[in-house]
Amino acid sequence: DAGVIQSPRHEVTEMGQEVTLRCKPISGHDYLFWYRQTMMRGLELLIYFNNNVPIDDSGMPEDRFSAKMPNASFSTLKIQPSEPRDSAVYFCASTGSSNYGYTFGSGTRLTVV
Amino acid sequence: GIQVEQSPPDLILQEGANSTLRCNFSDSVNNLQWFHQNPWGQLINLFYIPSGTKQNGRLSATTVATERYSLLYISSSQTTDSGVYFCAVATGGFKTIFGAGTRLFVKA
């Protein structure tokens, strides 16, 4: 089991550019979560999916953020346009209905300059 | 929304010492987890423990749901235990909220 796989590990982009973060959950897990971690705000839940359907996106900061899960093995988090305040580590996690312990990916460190 | 408070915020231990980390939450929960974030940033699930007691090697956890707190015990601490320990809870469904964490440093 390769665990939850996120890409890229690091991303540096200029303000105004589009950024796409990617996540592959553990096979068989039907819940997928996107979290953002900053020093000021800690770990924040942005959105989560169940069976590829978004269930709660109340944590998505604004319309510049969007997330999709086109199939059970892939999800994206897109920021367009990016701003310096979006700089953070973005984590993806997954779990299955029969086991509520979450497995996190290694995260994507995003820097917007 | 639910409030999650962790204490202490920072902790320094000598290798071999024991410690207890606390997580208080403001509402009934159906999901409580403890995580360790190592110095390289990786988040590792330690326990899923909405109630009761579990043990895994030198670590154990107890959640008293009726009194709205959970404790994480670390015995015979090692330098590799250093990092940040997070408590995360959900009040229904899977909307899981993290506490601010306890930062632990274990000195050799």
Instruction: Provide, for chain B, the percentages of residues in helix, strand and coil under a 3-state DSSP scheme, each rounded to the nearest 5.
Output: 5, 55, 35
Q: Are B35 and B47 in contact (CB under 8 A)?
A: no
The residues, any chain, with a CB within 8 Å of residue A86's CB and separated by 6 or more, are A19, A64, A79, A110, A112
Neighbours of B39 (CB within 10 A): 10
Residue A25 has pLDDT above 80, yes or no: yes
Q: Are A3 and A26 in contact (CB under 8 A)?
A: yes
Given pLDDT bands bounded at 50, 70 and 90, which one contains residue A1? low
Measured between beta carbons, the chain A residues lying within 8 angstroms of B41 are 89, 106-107
Give B98 to chain A, closest Cα distance, Å.
6
Interface with A, mutate which of B31, B43, B86 (most A CBs under 10 A): B43
Measured between beta carbons, the chain B residues lying within 8 angstroms of A101 are 33, 45, 47-48
Chain A CA closest to residue B84: A42
**pLDDT tens per residue, chain B (108 residues)?**
899 999 999 999 999 999 999 999 999 998 999 999 999 999 999 999 999 999 999 999 999 999 999 999 999 999 999 999 999 999 888 899 999 999 999 999
Q: What is the DSSP letter of A59?
A: T
Give A47 to chain B, closest Cα distance, Å.
9
The residues, any chain, with a CB within 8 Å of residue A41's CB and separated by 6 or more, are none
Displacement of CA B82 from its chain's centroid (Å)? 13
Q: Residue A100 is nearest to which of B48, B95, B100, comparing CB atoms?
A: B48
Displacement of CA A56 from its chain's centroid (Å)? 13
Q: How many CB pairs under 8 A join A and B?
A: 52
Given pLDDT bands bounded at 50, 70 and 90, which one contains residue A85? very high
Given an 8 Å threshold on Cβ–Cβ distance, is B45 in contact with A102? yes
Q: Residue A43 is nearest to which of B31, B86, B95, comparing CB atoms?
A: B86
